Structure 1
Amino acid sequence: MTRRTSRRPRARAARGASRVGERIEVEVGPVAHGGHCVARVPAEAPAGDEPARDRVVFVRHALPGERVVVEVTEGSDGDSFWRADAVEVLEASPDRVPPPCPHAHPGGCGGCDFQHVAPAAQRDLKAAVVREQLSRLARIDREVEVEVVPPTLRWRTRMRYVELPDGRRGLHEHRSDRVVEIDDCLIDAGGQEPDGGDPTLETVATSYGTHQFSLAPEGFWQSHLEAPRVLVETVMRGLRPAPGERVLDLYAGVGLFAAFLSDAVGPTGKVVAVEGAREACRHAGANLGRDQVRSPTTVEHGTVERVLSTSYDEPFDLVVLDPPREGARRAVVEQIVDRAPRAVAYVACDPAALARDLATFAELGYPLRDLTAFDLFPMTHHIECVAVLERELRSPVHR
């Protein structure tokens, strides 16, 4: 699940003359992770016999194969790459469409990366990013299809606007503190957050049952209207939990997956939910109370790495992990493998972090069995994946 992170980039020390504002004609190359495409411009030849190398330019508002004029937004002579916006399209891709939002343009709101791209082509671009990250970082070569999850507009249940004078509101420009006034955001589903700090309630109805979840007004919850249902159903289908099994739910939030897993493993099973945010743990305790779920369920507060290194050092049949954007990393993966689960479901909002962790899992005897990708962030470059890993039959038990 995607946690909120700072949108402001770190300031980089200038290395040579600034090229910000310069306009260059380029041919746009492939899509890259992060909501931009890659173009290259000739760099000046260095001193000595070393050959000149093309400089990489990360271009927003463009599409692969297009010829565009870009305006440099970040970069100097000494930088290895620049950032730029496509400000004029000379040869357009057939996948280019008029953005539905009037604020989706260079110098406008930075919330959406792909409003200029037809929805089906957006999913193709995201699939290409996932394939490239899996191949480059995990040596996994497989086809990826990104599944559509309607709606593609008015899907975001929670928004954080910048409050402006006179009751107006806005959103930030891409990689900037500048605020663009927004009268109507087209990805905002229009939900109102409760006032006064009272918990809100979310009802998730799936093919595996229905649960209601309390959470703090500023607490984390999946953004897309359909995301909780889609992710629960995919995790349950991938793991096939059975009565009596023992389950670890890591980075558990307010207990979304734990609630449905508890129903599946029943009173003879066990579920342990681990979450680092104290407020989320408090709500998880209520959501997973005895009158809410079927199996004995424990909510443990603490970072996943610390909890697994000191507690629950016993076999578990199944593990679900839904880490923040940076992924789980090796120390946590090793602790998971040490519990010798028969299967692991990994919910990921960042394909690069997922690929790095999948490489570690495979090294330790848990290869990728299945991968499903969902377009749960339409009009943006973000994507959600669910990977299912299974222990190799001949792999040693790491205990």
Structure 2
Amino acid sequence: MDELLELTVGPVAHGGHCVARLEGGQVVFVRHALPGERVRAAVTERRRGYLRADAVEVLEPSPDRVEEPCEYAKPGRCGGCDFQHATPAAQLELKTAVVRELLVRIGGLRADEVDELGVGVEPLPGGPLGWRTRVQYAVDAQGRPGFRRHRSHDIIPIDRCLIAHPAIQDAPVTDRTWPRVGGVEVVASSGGDVTIFTRPRGGRAPRIVSGPRQVRERAVGREWRIDAAGFWQVHPAAPDALADTVVELLAPRPGERVWDLYGGAGLFAAAIAPAVGEQGRVTIVESAPGAVTAARRNLADLTQVRVVAGDVGTVLGNPRWRAVDLVVLDPPRAGAGRDVVTAVTARHPRAVAYVSCDPAAFARDVATFRERGWRLSVLRAFDAFPMTQHVECVGLLQPA
């Protein structure tokens, strides 16, 4: 950090910061601040056209400000939590404002169209602490586990992460050193399993330290067995909330054909399969080998579900993939992208449910859907990552 600036903080922006401006108009992205506050901020980064800064002293606090419960969620320390200094209600408002702004600025919707959608980020069951069921610790040169500073490779050793599940907080990880490893991860599954594994340097396979290699998860009325190092939603209430929303928005009918693209272990396919019945068909497309194996293992009893291993864009480039009634899109953080959206809309499904953990990528793809003559008719958003900037969106897209 270097020079100090006295700033009046403006609106929240995507990325976990608020926007302020210097007298000459230069933009300053300020972390650890809230809209309307007067702060003294330390510059942390200079770029052409804008600055980044941390609010190190609050001169006029917002009524939504609270003391951060975690000692590491402060300027210059852990970069994992963005909004610990805001009340839970204010965090929902901040995330709602971000989603709305991105839909207008990037998605191309008018403000009145966003109003009609009634966008509002909904809380999930449980509090803002103790929810995260998967935690990745970086390891410094001395073998100490911790988290990185915001926009930095520097590692801040910690003794406890307050947003982590209690079983993760109690796991024997932060009270010892981990020499010669790249990272340590802990999983506390909804089925009661706790697994610790390390990530060796050089990209080699994870090594189990304790606990089962496959952990049990419970969602959509089923028990799942998932590789501890595989993907699963980190909030324990998220799988059911997202799957229930996808089914509600798509309203699948008996006999319909559904594509579950970027389908992972098959969460959405499992939720949709009963609705389309044995005469229907649900096809999962997934490229990660571990997820493909998990989907085939966990959904073997659902005869109407098949799993295709492959890149979504490549699979949709095959002209034989034509007939589909409904599509679920759950792409990585970068979004589905123009080519995939174009390929999906060219098949003329009656509806698409788009699940996204990044509202900016979601808004970009919504803009592409709109170019193709589709509209965003429903949007639900969930606070699946309390204390952080992240939000999970589920949108229903239909031909206009």
State if a TM-score over 0.5 links the two structures.
Answer: yes
Superposition TM-score tier, normalisation by shorter sequence? 0.7 to 0.9
Q: How does 1:1-399 map to 2 (within 5 A)?
A: 20-43=1-24, 54-75=25-46, 79-140=48-109, 141=111, 142-143=114-115, 144-151=119-126, 152-163=128-139, 168-189=144-165, 190=168, 191=188, 192-193=194-195, 199-206=213-220, 210-289=221-300, 291=301, 293=302, 295-310=303-318, 312-392=320-400
What SS is found at the alignment partner of 2:222? Answer: strand
- Partners of 1:63 and 1:347 lie apart in 2 by 28
Residue by residue over 1:77-106, the C-alpha shift from the partner in whole angstroms, topping out at 9 and shown as x without a partner, is xx2111100001000000000111111110
- Partners of 1:311 and 1:302 lie apart in 2 by 15
Cα distance 1:75–1:302, how it changes in 2: closer, same or farther (>3 A)?
same
Corresponding residue of 2:180: none
Deviation, 1:39, is: 0.8
- Partners of 1:159 and 1:185 lie apart in 2 by 9
Residue by residue over 1:305-363, the C-alpha shift from the partner in whole angstroms, topping out at 9 and shown as x without a partner, is 11110165222111001111111111101111122111110001111111111121122
- Contact in 2 for aligned 1:316/1:341 (Cα 8 Å): yes
Residue by residue over 1:88-126, the C-alpha shift from the partner in whole angstroms, topping out at 9 and shown as x without a partner, is 100000000011111111011111000000010011010
Given the two structures, how large is their TM-score scaled by the length of structure 1? 0.85
- Partners of 2:164 and 2:142 lie apart in 1 by 21
- Contact in 2 for aligned 1:67/1:91 (Cα 8 Å): yes
What SS is found at the alignment partner of 1:310? Answer: coil
- Partners of 2:225 and 2:320 lie apart in 1 by 26
- Contact in 2 for aligned 1:246/1:318 (Cα 8 Å): yes
Deviation, 1:203, is: 3.1
- Counterpart of 1:203 in structure 2: which amino acid? E
- Counterpart of 2:92 in structure 1: which amino acid? R
Deviation, 1:158, is: 0.2
- Counterpart of 1:114 in structure 2: which amino acid? F
- Partners of 1:389 and 1:241 lie apart in 2 by 14
- Counterpart of 2:49 in structure 1: which amino acid? S
Unaligned runs of 5+ in 1: 1-19, 44-53, 393-399
- Contact in 2 for aligned 1:244/1:265 (Cα 8 Å): yes
- Partners of 1:326 and 1:273 lie apart in 2 by 20
Provide the identity percentage: 52
Moved more, 163-172 or 235-244: 163-172
Corresponding residue of 1:49: none
What SS is found at the alignment partner of 2:195? Answer: coil
- Partners of 2:321 and 2:77 lie apart in 1 by 51
Deviation, 1:194, is: 5.4
- Contact in 2 for aligned 1:36/1:58 (Cα 8 Å): yes
- Counterpart of 2:195 in structure 1: which amino acid? E
Deviation, 1:278, is: 1.4
- Counterpart of 2:28 in structure 1: which amino acid? V
Number of residue pairs matched by the alignment: 355
What SS is found at the alignment partner of 1:57? Answer: strand
- Counterpart of 2:81 in structure 1: which amino acid? C
- Contact in 1 for aligned 2:244/2:271 (Cα 8 Å): no
- Computed over aligned residues only, the root mean square deviation of the Cα atoms, in angstroms, reads 1.7
Moved more, 331-340 or 358-367: 358-367
- Partners of 1:319 and 1:133 lie apart in 2 by 24
Deviation, 1:186, is: 0.7
Given the two structures, how large is their TM-score scaled by the length of structure 2? 0.85
Larger RCO (alpha carbons 8 Å, 6+ apart): 1
Corresponding residue of 2:182: none
Unaligned runs of 5+ in 2: 169-187, 189-193, 198-206
Deviation, 1:168, is: 4.7
What SS is found at the alignment partner of 2:361? Answer: helix
Corresponding residue of 1:395: none
- Contact in 1 for aligned 2:215/2:228 (Cα 8 Å): no
